[in-house]
Amino acid sequence: MQKTIFKFDDRLVKFAVDIISFCKTLPKDLIGKYYYGQILRSSGSTALNYGEALGTNTTKDFIHKMTLVIKELRETKVALKILHHANIGSPIMVDQLSKEVEELISISVRMVLNKKNWNVNRN
């Protein structure tokens, strides 16, 4: 049984590592190499941008960085969907990663909305 991770940054890091493991299973042809690079960049940048979001000084900067996290998660989601429909990669891994990316998107969107509401209620 897999241990549940509650810290969001740890979850993003684990997701990026899981994507690395998945990418290693992709075919070595042109298509596999393309999606290997694409999905690797988009998934990895989510944890990096979240780290930057945590270091921001303003609500506006935090929201900006979190929207980048959401954008990259959605890009990863679409790449996984393409791989699923093209029957490329392990269907089980694609399914697990797709579920996780959905949850990460939901959490990220909620964080942005909470921050916006907190900022509005503070003024």
Q: Which residue ranges make up each domain of the chain?
A: 8-118
% the chain with pLDDT above 70:
92
Report the percent of the chain where pLDDT is more than 90: 89
Q: pLDDT at residue 111 above 50?
A: yes
For residues 49-68, give the mean pLDDT: 96
What is the reported pLDDT for 6? 75
CA–CA gap between residue 35 and residue 55 (Å, rounded): 31
**According to CATH, what is the number of the domain 8-118?**
1.20.1440.60
Res 1: pLDDT:
39
pLDDT at 104 over 50: yes
Q: At a CB cut-off of 8 Å and minimum separation 6, what does 21 contact?
A: 93
Residue written as tokens 């890091």? 13
Mean pLDDT score, 46-69: 96
- The label of the residue with tokens 């969907």 reads 81
Q: What are phi and psi of 86, to 5 degrees?
A: -90, 0
Kindly tell me if the per-residue pLDDT of 121 is higher than 90. no
Q: Say if CB 70 and CB 117 are below 8 A apart.
A: no
Residue range 47-61: mean pLDDT, rounded: 95
What is the pLDDT averaged over residues 40-67?
Answer: 96
Q: pLDDT of 3-47, one tens digit each? A: 565 799 999 999 999 999 999 999 999 999 999 999 999 999 999
Helix axes 91-122, 8-23, angle to 10 degrees: 150
